[in-house]
Structure 1
Amino acid sequence: MNHPFKSSAPALVLALAALLAGCASQRPATVVDINIATLNDFHGNILPSKFSYTNSWGFERSELAGGIDTIAAALQAWRAEDRELLLVGAGDLIGASPAISSMWADETTLGALNLLGLQATSVGNHEFDAGRAELLRQQKGGCVSPRPDKACKFEPVYPGAKFQYLAANVVDMVTNKPFLPAYSVQEAHGVKVGFIGAVLKDTAQVVLASGIAGLQFGDEAQAINRALPELRAQGVNVFVALIHQGGRTTDALDQPDCPNLKGEIVDLVKRLDPAIKVVISGHSHKGYLCRVDGRLVTQAETAGHVMSRIRLSVDTASNTVLETSARNVVMKQDQYPADPAMAAYMASVRQRSDEVLGKPVARLAVAKVARATGDDSSESAIGDLVADSMLAAGKPFGAQIAFMNRGGLRQDLLTSQGNNATLAHLHAVLPFGNTLDVMNLTGAQIRALLEEQWLQGRSVSRGLLQVSDGFTYQWDASQPEGQRLVPGSVLLHGVRIEDGASYRVVTNHFLAEGGDYFPTFARGASRAPTPIRDIDALAAYLAQRDRDGKPAGSEQQAGRIQRIK
């Protein structure tokens, strides 16, 4: 039997090879590839952690991923392929960090990012967590800090970040000048690339108001576009936007050219100058590789679990971008040989941190006090526990009710053998180190405060305020905004609160200034800031309950907040 296709297969292969060689030879000698690696929303996660995801083949995966030593190993391998690879970020690289970073004022993470060779990053809202002065210290170095208990405690001298923070849309209203540079110009393969950074314009609503006094956060797209003429005057015609704002999609994190991106980033990208071909985003903690009006828009998840690898094909003769592509790479353990410098650095960080964080605090009643429930926006067991600890700390100041924001609770409260909680476990839950404020609110103000939870759907994005023991209420989701509290249901120790009566309330300083879109807190009377940190209040409460033979903690939330529809 004749097999004409079989007999001609070698010829077919040779013909295909010749065709491919011909295509390769058609690429002009003036075209070069610029390789970029990106991080966003790292949040000081210098240690690996569990990562669950579904890839573009539909396979579900769950594995240990990330860690700064894993990232360093990957970059070492990628730089072996291209020694001029550029490394940039899209904000929130620090802040809301695990204890191994937060207890040292994130200096351990900043030192690790210096070792990685990070060149520039936009600021994120969490870079402002400790205020503008602390952000500048972290950029420039030094030990004069609003957090003297943390700053320069890992090393006696903090040298500052070797990379540049960018914020095109943040202006100092006193000087009317940019608070930070708008852009950074990096060169690779003879091409100047302008990285322009911006942070979400709503930053003032999600950070401590006093910490950013005098700063104005403007429209992201307008600010980025304004930087282009200045860059062009410097001979830069290849632009990449680093924007700490994001979106969401149903597509897998490694799905190329996904078409289903939604959220704030989409409108923002559409308003950018057409010359900007690549947008590296963040904030929403999602992984995607999408196209918006033909532009490449990427995000690399969070916590260092994923890095984006972006390639720009640039014609150096015309100084224009011909093509863009990207892929998201999960930072799996032991994929690449270790980076010796990072391995040595992390050994030192672990040793120093373990000495402090391994100290036991108290025994709990359960092995885990959970942050998440079936509805992540509702009451939680850890929310109940932290609110109770705040109330206990505030009682010497007359506190009757405590309120805690869910966004300030970063993890479940886990324990080690025998249900013993350490400082590391507590730091994982409360990494911000907020102090507590006490104030008077009327019954009418408390009801107004509770109604603010649902304005513009904020109970979905922020979660309900967590409340202390003895305070209860019911709400009805079927009612319109501003009318969701069930009349007569707001009770303190079983007694209905009265509009004209005054109640002593304790909360963290962030909420006390009206953070997380709760302006009623800022209107409280007879305000008394305390020196007590939330984590210290929690530690003291757990220790006292343990000493009393009544270990704290529950596997289930207490039912203080009831949704009836």
Structure 2
Amino acid sequence: MPATSQPYRRAGRRVRGLLAAAAVLATAGALGAAVPADTLGHGTGHRPAPGRYQDVQLLSFNDLHGNLEPPSGSSGRVTEQEADGTTKTIDAGGVEYLATHLRQAREGHPYSITAAGGDLVGASPLLSGLFHDEPTIEALNKLKLDVTSVGNHEFDEGATELARLQNGGCHPTDGCYSGQKFKGADFPYLTANVLDEKTGKPIMKPYWVWKKNGVKIGFIGVTLEGTPNIVSAEGVKGLKFEDEVTTINKYAKVLERQGVKSIVALIHEGGYPASSSYNYDCDSGGAGSGISGPIVDIAKNVSPQVDALVTGHTHTAYVCTIPDPSGRPRMVTSAASYGRLFTDTTLTYDRRTGDIARTAVRSANRVVTRDVPKAADMTALIAKWNALAAPIGNRAIGYISGDIESTGTESPMGDLIADAQLAYGKGLDPETDLALMNPGGVRAGLTYKASGSEGDGVVTYAEGFTVQPFSNTVNLQDFTGAQVIQALKEQVSGANAAAPKILQVSSGLTYTLDLTKTGADRVVTDSIRLNGAAIDPAATYRVATNSFLAGGGDGFTTLGQGTNDLVGGDDLAALQQYLTANSSPAAPIAPPATDRITLVQ
């Protein structure tokens, strides 16, 4: 399941006091592990003869989520498909390596643009999230990012904070870090389909045009229309999100009237490829055959005036062609997440027509391997912010005996968080029966192997923050048994029918998920047990969730209908409290067994 749908209200209220105290105290040639270039990407036909044509390099990435340091565990690996049909994993990511790869990729390409598909900030590790993602914006400036769309996580702190990231200025509550005024982004955030409810106008630029020596390429940026359903209500207050296709087609006409005929759409919405390998041949069965999900319908309906789609949100990797409304194949790409990949696309610009020669478009995902020199300026940037974060981030909060992964329908990390919230809930009210955790809120796992000066098995505050960076509260509510059953069914029906969101459940709650069935029937009602006893539809159960779920987030409308509310403290504090109380160097916590949900496939 992709972990993309969780609000983020940052760390300001959690660590402000600690910060005050602490202040006093890459071309493909570099891809040594990659498969041959002819298997990495594909084009839509033969290249035209040179002369009037100018190749323009488009480098793109998406869903960085403030991962400046190399992400750990499965979040820091990509799967590569080999020529013999086997697969292998490659360690990838880290802005020091991303910078080197991008800079190497640009060599020999005087016409080069770097663009992104949103969610560059939000749900970030402590190094960035602690400082309201100013470090990531600084890094993106150094990367020479030209333009990006907004993602849903760009609204985690609301439109005012997004405007500050764009325009600069010190944080209204936490002020200036290191006494230096934040300069803001050197690149434009595009918000074509995000309107101010009062004015009806986009809250930032809807489009941007790159120009060089007579070559003009327009960029239109949109985020998914369903953003209000997956972030906190406060984050999108006063905003209206319009349909992606209608908006792109509207501004494609605007650009066309301005004489811009080459257009790229930056869309924070994505799809699900048939393979998890980054170099999977998405078109092996024909154009559009190897991908499903929302981006397919979007791509099929976006105007033929648009020449390529850079996408994101689903944290998956693909380079596909999907037919446009006129039936012509059009490139649609995504570079997974966390800076592990970037996409290298060649757009051949026809100087006579001002349009892209669509049959000449070529594209491939490239791995951000860690076998290249680190970019010195990024190393210095990370060191600067780490010095500020270290007094907070390096504190030990628990101990583990092995990796606790965050992947899978039921993940060990999800189980651990649910158990922590159940224990926290019982501390507030001993009558608490169970806890439910949304999968999108589990942003990473915990890695056993030492990193930096930390010992093996030590869990630091920084690692805990990476797992749960949202500053949600742990809330208690009363539900009938019938409502608990309905909430479980909403994992695979209603808003979540197409892309299920499987709740992580606390110890004692068990049930069967039958994937051979469809819709709500996939949750086998008769199998739902709490501490061995069947859920009684007429009984009342005290349930712990985070504040996002308690508000009905992620399509769990039933969880927004609880009664007898009790708002507790910070969810990371609950995890920290659980780890501290239940682990020690001599008795570390073992990864949970993930035996609460029985899968039938």
TM-score (normalizing by structure 2): 0.80
Q: Percent of aligned positions with the same letter in both sequences?
A: 35
Aligned pair count? 531
What is the identity, as a one-letter code, of the residue corresponding to 1:279? L
- Taking a change above 3 Å as real, the CA distance of residues 562 and 84 of structure 1, as seen in their structure-2 partners, is closer
- Asked if 1:541 corresponds to 2:578, the answer is yes
- Taking a change above 3 Å as real, the CA distance of residues 64 and 489 of structure 1, as seen in their structure-2 partners, is closer
State the partner residue of 2:384.
348
1: distance between equivalents of 2:512 and 2:177?
Answer: 46
State the partner residue of 1:20.
none
State the partner residue of 1:321.
356
2: distance between equivalents of 1:107 and 1:494?
Answer: 49
- Taking a change above 3 Å as real, the CA distance of residues 482 and 32 of structure 1, as seen in their structure-2 partners, is closer
Q: Which of the numbers 358, 377, 386 marks the counterpart of 2:409?
A: 377
2: distance between equivalents of 1:85 and 1:381?
Answer: 43
CA RMSD in angstroms comes to 3.1
Is the CA contact 2:516–2:600 (under 8 Å) kept in the aligned structure 1? Answer: no
Is the CA contact 2:474–2:567 (under 8 Å) kept in the aligned structure 1? Answer: yes
- Taking a change above 3 Å as real, the CA distance of residues 495 and 269 of structure 1, as seen in their structure-2 partners, is closer
State the partner residue of 1:507.
545
Q: Deviations over 1:237-283 (max 9, x none)?
A: 21111111222334764467833342222221121221211111222
- Taking a change above 3 Å as real, the CA distance of residues 35 and 394 of structure 1, as seen in their structure-2 partners, is same
What is the identity, as a one-letter code, of the residue corresponding to 1:286? T
2: distance between equivalents of 1:257 and 1:402?
Answer: 39
Q: Deviations over 1:32-72 (max 9, x none)?
A: 22222111122222223442322473563433322212222
What is the identity, as a one-letter code, of the residue corresponding to 2:550? A
Q: Which of the numbers 286, 298, 310 marks the counterpart of 2:316?
A: 286
1: distance between equivalents of 2:482 and 2:228?
Answer: 26
Is the CA contact 1:390–1:402 (under 8 Å) kept in the aligned structure 2? Answer: yes
2: distance between equivalents of 1:402 and 1:41?
Answer: 29
Cα displacement (A) at 1:105: 2.3
Q: Deviations over 1:454-488 (max 9, x none)?
A: 21594884442222234444555566644555556
State the partner residue of 2:443.
410
SS at match of 2:320: strand
TM-score (normalizing by structure 1): 0.84
- Asked if 1:217 corresponds to 2:241, the answer is yes
Cα displacement (A) at 1:217: 2.2
Cα displacement (A) at 1:121: 0.6
State the partner residue of 1:19.
none
- Taking a change above 3 Å as real, the CA distance of residues 187 and 338 of structure 1, as seen in their structure-2 partners, is farther
State the partner residue of 2:460.
422
Give unpaired runs (5+ residues) of structure 2: 1-45, 324-328
Q: Which of the numbers 91, 98, 110 marks the counterpart of 1:71?
A: 98
Is the CA contact 1:542–1:551 (under 8 Å) kept in the aligned structure 2? Answer: no
Return 411-420 or 114-123, whichever deviates more: 411-420
Cα displacement (A) at 1:184: 1.2
State the partner residue of 1:121.
148
Q: Which of the numbers 217, 223, 228 marks the counterpart of 1:199?
A: 223
2: distance between equivalents of 1:564 and 1:53?
Answer: 26
State the partner residue of 1:276.
306
2: distance between equivalents of 1:244 and 1:418?
Answer: 38
2: distance between equivalents of 1:74 and 1:453?
Answer: 40
2: distance between equivalents of 1:487 and 1:343?
Answer: 53
2: distance between equivalents of 1:329 and 1:483?
Answer: 41
State the partner residue of 1:248.
272
Cα displacement (A) at 1:167: 2.2
Q: Which of the numbers 57, 68, 74 marks the counterpart of 1:46?
A: 68
- Asked if 1:171 corresponds to 2:208, the answer is no
Q: Deviations over 1:434-460 (max 9, x none)?
A: 222222222222221122122159488
2: distance between equivalents of 1:59 and 1:519?
Answer: 42
Is the CA contact 1:104–1:154 (under 8 Å) kept in the aligned structure 2? Answer: no
Tell which structure's C-alpha radius of gyration is larger: 1
Is the CA contact 2:96–2:376 (under 8 Å) kept in the aligned structure 1? Answer: no
SS at match of 2:426: helix
1: distance between equivalents of 2:129 and 2:48?
Answer: 53
Return 395-404 or 261-270, whichever deviates more: 395-404
SS at match of 2:124: coil
